[in-house]
Amino acid sequence: MPVLDVKIPPLGESISSGVLAKWHVTDGTIVKKDQPLFELETDKITSEGTAEAAGKIVLKVAAGTEVKIGDVVATVDTDAGPVSAPPPPVSAVKVENKAAAAPSAPVMSSSSLPSSPAVRRVSEETGIDPTSVSGTGKGGRVTKGDVLAVAEAAPASPSPQSKTETKATPAAAAVSPAAATPTDRQSRRKLTPLRKRIAERLVQAQHEAAMLTTFNEVDMSAVMALRAKYQDDFVKKNGLKLGFMSFFTKAVVHALKEVPAINAQYAGDEVIQNHYYDIGVAVSTEKGLMVPVIRGADQLGMAEIEKAIGDAAKKARDGKITLADLEGGVFTITNGGIFGSMLSTPILNAPQSGILGLHAINERPMAVDGQVVIRPMMYLALSYDHRLVDGKEAVTFLVKVKQAIEDPSRLLLSI
Amino acid sequence: MESFDLIVIGAGPGGYVCAFRAAQLGLKVALIDKRATLGGTCLNVGCIPSKALLHSSEHLVFARKHAAEHGIEFGSVELDLATMMKRKDAVVGKLVGGVGQLAKARKISTFVGSASFTSATTVSVAPADTGDGKAAGAPVELTAKNIVIATGSAPVELPFMKFDGKTVVSSDDAIAFTEVPKKLVVVGGGAIGLELGSVWSRLGSDVTIVEFLPKIVSTYDDDIVRTFTRILQKQGLKIEVGAKVTGFSNGILTAEREGKTLEFPADKVLVAVGRRTFTDRLGLDKAGVALDDKKRVKVDGHLKTSVAGIWAVGDVIAGPMLAHKAEEDGVAVAEWIAGKAGHVNWDLVPGVVYTAPEVASVGLGEDAARAQGLSINVGKFNLAANARAIAAGATDGFVKIVADAKTDRILGAQILGANAGELIGEIVTHMEYGGSAEDLGRTIHAHPTMSEALKEAGLAVSKSALHSL
């Protein structure tokens, strides 16, 4: 009977391992072709593994286990129907009092079986869903030990009944008799493996690079005027609006050409100089910040850039981003302005050497030709890796971006 | 030559259950036994008659020694041994009759006589002398594609003190004495020796148990055995351990302990040192069936012998010589023969000693677990703290649960106490499902029952017993 291996598929050059975060099926169930089987979390992305064929699945690794690309995490017996089960292996005849080893052949879906009292208690206290744990008990049942093992593997320890600090002054205690119980003041939530990985990589980036931020400000009135003048024609021609991002993307490409040091990466005792312009545009999703990459931004027209950004943003929000979409960028643009940020210090998107932070456009009084005028101003921030990029280069880069935005003709003339 | 799908040789628990299961699965079955009644050793001369006598004799002790404290007054309490034995026979009769009827209803062909292989697929049955004056008939030849050997076991005989059926006896005779021996020496402190020793002690014998090993019921944990030994001694049994029996002559049984000779005067000696597999006159060589080094029929993990189509179950193969184990073997073999999925979990065979109090165990004991170097937590609960035990006046003993220190999975349990044999069943069930001590502790048990002691012992594993510190 053909038994297929369910393996972790290749996910991209830099991904060699991940965490099998959650099983969507329980051991011994009959799965259908293309049925989602598991959720795999890597540093960059969460992907789903689906069944290649229908059959009875035998889970080989527990949820929460770290797995490598190519690892077999389950097998699907394509001949197995819902009822029949092969005779389970019989232990050799033993003389009395040997350890109770309890071998078990799964004969029914354990998701239909109630949890044992201890499993209930442990799952409630740890927040682990017993249906996501692959069981080693009879018939695939989840045992207390199975849940404990998962709890151990994912060490963030939640406990809804965390004790309050008893340092609260007596006065405070007296004043609020209806004071919040410990559970109202604090609650805990386990970190997903993805979150933890993002956190790790951010800290790593900070430790490795000599990260500094330089600032400037840009007068958005020229771009705004351009948009006002040509928006209708643009929409008529391209079916989508002309935003700011396309301008900044072009400005960044322009600046990178002027200051190639920023289009390079620190690699131990080598410098990798990029000769292409794949620009990452940060998108905020509920799973966290993602940076899909706009390929060959130097070759794309404004409309193409706007379209690429729009498509990538939609894909990211729909959870359909693939690892390939996130890899290979040379520079990143992030926009805190959409949330109202005036100024910030963006963190580098390793292994890149520069990241441009856009912010909110606020009308400010500016001195222009000896007059005070109100201009729509945006602060720009460039965080850079000082190991590769010196101050002059960083400042020059930002000035080039500013100049290109304040006078878009420069983009046309590559000046 | 009559042809069947399956021939079962031996109609004890292993054999008759195998036949029953096979018949349920649609096979044409022949069941052979040398006795005219089915049920083998267990029903005829073993488990059942001994339990009947244990119950009867326990009532006698209650009437004589404990009734008064309950406010029940008798005149003098007399024993009518003949009636007690008649009752025992009636119990046996009821059971063997019931099994016989089930066999008939299932259209199983039964043959009475001594079976022997004439080839790997043929068995000859030499009919027993039916004792009604008629000459024994001609041997019957049976053939089948599958044959199950379920010939069981027989009491081990000491070569220097052979059974004579009168003074040196086996359990076969000890369940049928016609009078209460004045002095009874029991060689062997295992379940059989202790049970029958208890029976006769209760009925008035002066009983001495002589055991070779340093403790009686040696497969149980030391703490259980220590308490058990004290209780039996309080009941009047004399227990001599570490003593090697050397002979019996002139009414004196001699034994050796640490170089010293011990002497025990005895009217009767019950030799209960164990049972050996019984394959006498089976003609295994004609079939080519191999035995192991302990003269047991050699089988693989599927209970297949060295000959294709021949299987073996129960006491005749390795494993605990227990009726329920034989029954499971029988069911599994019937299922495998019928092409179904059979299974026996030989790691979860419970054992019981039917003395008062009873002793029962399943899985790994504390001592064995520690000897294996396993990391365990142990929970104990005394019956003296159990409400029902106190009400019933059955406070002797305790429950012990052994669990894996990391996963909390129950690895084994031992119970000393009234109804231990019934109570152990719950632990077996928990272990079948990979249950933890906490599961046991969090399962609702009716109050007031002795089963609550199991729950408390389960809680005690994590030091959270409620009714004891």
pLDDT of residue A268: 80
Chain A residues with CB under 8 Å of B435 CB are 116, 118, 137, 143-144
Do B100 and B13 lie in one domain? The reply is: yes
* Mean pLDDT value of segment B45-62: 98
pLDDT of residue A137: 86
Decide if A2 is inside a domain: yes
**Segment B227-278, tens digit of pLDDT:** 999 999 999 999 999 999 999 999 999 999 999 999 999 999 999 999 999 9
Distance CA B349, CA B363 (A): 7
**Segment B9-49, tens digit of pLDDT:** 999 999 999 999 999 999 999 999 999 999 999 999 999 99
Query: Do B180 and B265 touch, CB atoms closer than 8 A?
Result: no
Shortest alpha-carbon distance between residue A101 and chain B (Å): 7
* The pLDDT of residue A170 is above 60: no
Decide if B202 is inside a domain: yes
Nearest to A101 by CA among A128, A54, A138: A138
**Segment A80-128, tens digit of pLDDT:** 654 444 443 333 333 333 333 333 343 444 456 788 989 988 988 888 8
Shortest alpha-carbon distance between residue B147 and chain A (Å): 20
Chain B residues with CB under 8 Å of A99 CB are 347, 363-364, 369, 372, 374, 411
Do B269 and B280 lie in one domain? The reply is: no
Question: Which of A5, A232, A311, A390 is the catalytic position?
Answer: A390
CATH number of the domain enclosing B421: 3.30.390.30
Chain B residues with CB under 8 Å of A95 CB are 318-320
Tell me how many residue pairs between chain A and chain B have CB atoms under 8 A apart: 122
End of a domain among B273, B289, B319? B273
Indicate the pLDDT class of residue B132, thresholds 50, 70 and 90. Answer: low
Do A136 and A248 lie in one domain? The reply is: no
Shortest alpha-carbon distance between residue B69 and chain A (Å): 40
Q: Which DSSP letter does residue B304 get? A: B
pLDDT of residue A87: 41
What range does the domain containing A292 cover? 195-413
Do A222 and A154 lie in one domain? The reply is: no
Kindly provide the ipTM of the predicted complex, given to two decimals.
Answer: 0.75
CATH number of the domain enclosing B192: 3.50.50.60
Decide if A399 is inside a domain: yes
Does residue A141 sit at the B interface (CB-CB below 8 Å)? yes
* Mean pLDDT value of segment B51-78: 96
Do B224 and B320 lie in one domain? The reply is: no
Do B282 and B257 lie in one domain? The reply is: no
CA A251 to the chain's CA centroid: 27
**Segment A187-238, tens digit of pLDDT:** 887 777 667 777 887 888 888 889 999 999 999 999 999 999 999 999 999 9
Do B33 and B177 lie in one domain? The reply is: no
CA A2 to the chain's CA centroid: 37
Helices (H) and strands (E) in chain B, counts: 14, 21
Nearest to B414 by CA among B459, B388, B453: B453
pLDDT of residue A16: 74
End of a domain among B234, B252, B273? B273
Distance CA B361, CA B367 (A): 13
Shortest alpha-carbon distance between residue B162 and chain A (Å): 28
pLDDT of residue A188: 81
Let me know if B302 is a catalytic residue: no
Phi, psi (deg, nearest 5) at residue A79? -95, -15
Instruction: Name the more confident of B342 and A111.
Output: B342
Contact A99 B369 (CB under 8 A): yes
Name the β-bridge partners of B264: B253
Do B313 and B439 lie in one domain? The reply is: no
Do A301 and A391 lie in one domain? The reply is: yes
Decide if B343 is inside a domain: yes
Do B89 and B103 lie in one domain? The reply is: yes
Does residue B230 sit at the A interface (CB-CB below 8 Å)? no
Residue of B344, B412, B439 with shortest CB distance to A100: B412
Do A119 and A266 lie in one domain? The reply is: no
**Segment A250-272, tens digit of pLDDT:** 999 999 999 999 999 988 888 99
* The pLDDT of residue B118 is above 80: yes
Do A101 and A205 lie in one domain? The reply is: no
* The pLDDT of residue A169 is above 50: no
Decide if B69 is inside a domain: no
Decide if B64 is inside a domain: no
Do A379 and A305 lie in one domain? The reply is: yes
Decide if A92 is inside a domain: no
**Beta strand B168-169 with B268-271: parallel, antiparallel or unpaired?**
parallel
Question: What is the number of other CB atoms lying within 10 angstroms of the CB of residue A197?
Answer: 17
Contact A144 B346 (CB under 8 A): no
Contact B341 A86 (CB under 8 A): yes
Contact A90 B364 (CB under 8 A): no
Name the β-bridge partners of B184: B207, B268
Chain B residues with CB under 8 Å of A144 CB are 407-409, 435-436, 438-439
Decide if A295 is inside a domain: yes
Do B225 and B281 lie in one domain? The reply is: no
Do B134 and B280 lie in one domain? The reply is: yes
Do A142 and A239 lie in one domain? The reply is: no
> Could you tell me what percent of chain B has a pLDDT over 90?
96
Does residue A113 sit at the B interface (CB-CB below 8 Å)? no
Decide if A269 is inside a domain: yes
End of a domain among B315, B347, B379? B347
**Beta strand A17-23 with A65-68: parallel, antiparallel or unpaired?**
antiparallel
**Segment B190-200, tens digit of pLDDT:** 999 999 999 99
Distance CA B48, CA B60 (A): 19
CATH number of the domain enclosing A402: 3.30.559.10
Do A254 and A395 lie in one domain? The reply is: yes
Query: Do B358 and B421 touch, CB atoms closer than 8 A?
Result: yes
Do A328 and A387 lie in one domain? The reply is: yes
What is A341-363 written as a DSSP string? -S---PPP-TT-SEEEEE--EEE
Shortest alpha-carbon distance between residue A13 and chain B (Å): 39
Query: Do B362 and B431 touch, CB atoms closer than 8 A?
Result: yes
Decide if B324 is inside a domain: yes
Decide if B73 is inside a domain: no
**Segment B149-178, tens digit of pLDDT:** 999 999 999 999 999 999 999 999 999 999
**Segment A325-374, tens digit of pLDDT:** 888 899 999 998 888 999 999 999 888 999 999 999 999 999 999 999 99
Decide if A355 is inside a domain: yes
CA atoms within 13 A on the CB side of A151: 22
Name the β-bridge partners of A217: A379
Do B296 and B388 lie in one domain? The reply is: no
Chain B residues with CB under 8 Å of A94 CB are 319, 346-347
Do A145 and A210 lie in one domain? The reply is: no
Do B229 and B101 lie in one domain? The reply is: no
* Mean pLDDT value of segment B90-99: 98
Nearest CA in chain A to B369: A99
Do A324 and A246 lie in one domain? The reply is: yes
Which of B:306-335 have CB within 8 Å of A? 317-320, 332
pLDDT of residue B349: 97
Do B178 and B253 lie in one domain? The reply is: yes
Decide if A90 is inside a domain: no
pLDDT of residue B442: 96
A173-195 per-residue burial string, b: 16 or more CB within 10 A, e: under 16:
eeeeeeeeeeeeeeeeebebbbe
Chain A residues with CB under 8 Å of B407 CB are 143-145, 148-149
pTM for the structure as a whole: 0.62
pLDDT of residue B133: 64
Do A228 and A142 lie in one domain? The reply is: no
Indicate the pLDDT class of residue A66, thresholds 50, 70 and 90. Answer: confident
Shortest alpha-carbon distance between residue A30 and chain B (Å): 20
A144, A148, A150: best mutation site toward chain B, by most B Cβ within 10 Å? A144
| Domain count across chain B | 3
- Across all residues in chain A, what is the average pLDDT? 81
Phi, psi (deg, nearest 5) at residue A365? -75, 125
* Mean pLDDT value of segment B54-64: 97
Decide if B465 is inside a domain: no
- Across all residues in chain B, what is the average pLDDT? 96
* Mean pLDDT value of segment A161-186: 46
Query: Do B396 and B357 touch, CB atoms closer than 8 A?
Result: yes
Residue of A90, A100, A148 with shortest CB distance to B364: A100
End of a domain among A159, A187, A203? A159
Query: Do B394 and B420 touch, CB atoms closer than 8 A?
Result: no
Indicate the pLDDT class of residue B291, thresholds 50, 70 and 90. Answer: very high
CATH number of the domain enclosing A113: 2.40.50.100
What range does the domain containing B307 cover? 2-48+84-154+276-347
Contact A97 B364 (CB under 8 A): yes
Question: Which of B66, B302, B343, B447 is the catalytic position?
Answer: B447
pLDDT of residue B134: 63
Decide if A181 is inside a domain: no
Contact A149 B407 (CB under 8 A): yes
Nearest CA in chain A to B409: A145
Distance CA A239, CA B198 (A): 99
What is B190-237 written as a DSSP string? SHHHHHHHHHHHHTT-EEEEE-SSSSSSTTS-HHHHHHHHHHHHHTT-
Instruction: Name the more confident of B46 and A38.
Output: B46
Decide if B468 is inside a domain: no
| Domain count across chain A | 2
Nearest to A355 by CA among A387, A382, A385, A326: A382
Chain A residues with CB under 8 Å of B433 CB are 116, 137-138, 141, 143
Which of B:364-393 have CB within 8 Å of A? 364-365, 368-369, 372, 374
